[in-house]
Amino acid sequence: MPIELSESEERIYQESLAYGRSSFLPWAAQWEVERKFPLDAFRKAGEDGYLGVGVSRDWGGKAYSFVESSLMYQAFARSCLPLGFAIACHNNMSYDLEHMQASPDVLELLPKFISGKEILAFALTEELAGSDPLSSSTFAREVPGGFLVQGKKTWVTNGQESSKVFLTVKTGDAQSREMICLLVDNPTPGLQVTKAHGKLGANLMSTVDMEFNDCFVPAGRVISLKGYANALWAVMIGRIHVAALAVGLCEEVLHVTAEFLAGRKQFNKTLLLNQGLQWKLADMTARLEAAKWLMLRTAFVMDQGRSPVQESSMAKLVCGDLAMEITSQCLGLFGARGYSDEYPIERYFREAKLLQIVDGTTEIQKLILGKHIAARYLND
């Protein structure tokens, strides 16, 4: 594995950083206060080539590798993590549709996702099926020409703005692994958005509950018949990009903190000249560098055509926890200003918590890793 970024990878990071700085950062705080999804900025990102980046060129995508897309999200998180997350959800779904070899009716929609004319959401989680998606109960019954879906999904990112929902449904009994993935129109008869969640942070992106009451989905909208395996695969891909967003958030937080400490004096001395504070920054910077390379290696393994189950859990665990820790420590270094909504650090702190929850909590990453470790030492 190359242990340096190539010129083109470095360029993707720098261009994405500049794009986020000019198109997201000036409005990020305002969007969050208004709790309003920046639809124009999202669509513009499509026009400017930042949507559906992982989709092949055959469909008009950029065929980005996972290292490349991760660098893009890392850079976006430095300007607006929630919009970066909303874009990552949409982009991951676009990639999944192509790579799960969805039906032709589904595939021909890809150009609309790449342009941003249509927005995708992913609906896996249910009230009684969060960490354990196998216990989900939303059910699809086969009928002439398609399926009738019955059930409820919760915590659907992009749910409000989405025009298509990537939906996982059971086709067998409650405890079976028989699941399929369907692409459902939003709106469509039988589908209702029932609740928009108010959240600790990341309120500029929508997170909604959805109900399906005898909602008809045509047979041509099947994404995959290997629903459970593919749902886990989609979540694994999500973990790589959540780790990338976490790295970007940490970079930005360290940057604004160092700038703040360089500009403020106490005891007639610039704060950044205190060795104790320099050591804090040094410690966080070194740990961030290690976390970044763990994230990039995970993306690299994915690019090699292998399935980085353990790597993605490690990357999500380490980068998500580090984001929480760095935002918390740096908020403290701002003193009272860290607690004020006039500075961005309190918003970053609230956003960091999201990274420990989505696409499998910190505990679930430990569960996955722990099982792999135990399997190496236990014979039966």
Ligand X SMILES: Cc1cc2nc3c(=O)[nH]c(=O)nc-3n(C[C@H](O)[C@H](O)[C@H](O)COP(=O)(O)OP(=O)(O)OC[C@H]3O[C@@H](n4cnc5c(N)ncnc54)[C@H](O)[C@@H]3O)c2cc1C
Contact with ligand X (CB under 6 A): which of 156, 254, 294, 333?
156
206 belongs to the binding site for ligand X (CB under 6 A): no
Contact with ligand X (CB under 6 A): which of 291, 302, 364, 368?
364
Contact with ligand X (CB under 6 A): which of 70, 157, 298, 312?
157
Task: Classify the phi-psi angles of 101: left when phi > 0, otherwise alpha if psi is within -120 to 50, otherwise beta.
Answer: left
Closest approach of ligand X to the CB of residue 162, in Å: 10
- What character string, x for contact with ligand X (CB under 6 A) and - otherwise, covers 121-140? -xxxx----xx---------
Residue 179 sits at φ, ψ, to 5 deg, of: -135, 150
CA distances from 241 to 133, 169, 222, 226 (A): 20, 24, 25, 23
Window 315 to 344, contacts with ligand X (CB under 6 A):
none
C-beta nearest to ligand X: residue: 130
Structure tokens at 115: 């342009």
294 belongs to the binding site for ligand X (CB under 6 A): no
Closest CB to ligand X among residues 334, 348: 348
- What character string, x for contact with ligand X (CB under 6 A) and - otherwise, covers 41-80? ----------------------------------------
Question: Per this entry, what is the length of the chain?
Answer: 380
Question: What DSSP string runs through 84-153?
Answer: HHHHHHHHHHHHHHHHTT--HHHHTTHHHHHHTSS-EEEE--BTTBSS-GGG---EEEEETTEEEEEEEE
Candidates 345, 350, 330; CA nearest to 288 is 330
Contact with ligand X (CB under 6 A): which of 16, 74, 207, 329?
207
CA distance 174 to 157: 25
CA distance 374 to 296: 26
Closest approach of ligand X to the CB of residue 368, in Å: 10
Closest approach of ligand X to the CB of residue 269, in Å: 41
357 belongs to the binding site for ligand X (CB under 6 A): yes
Interface with ligand X by CB under 6 A: which residues?
89, 122-125, 130-131, 155-157, 199, 202, 207, 354, 357-361, 363-364, 367
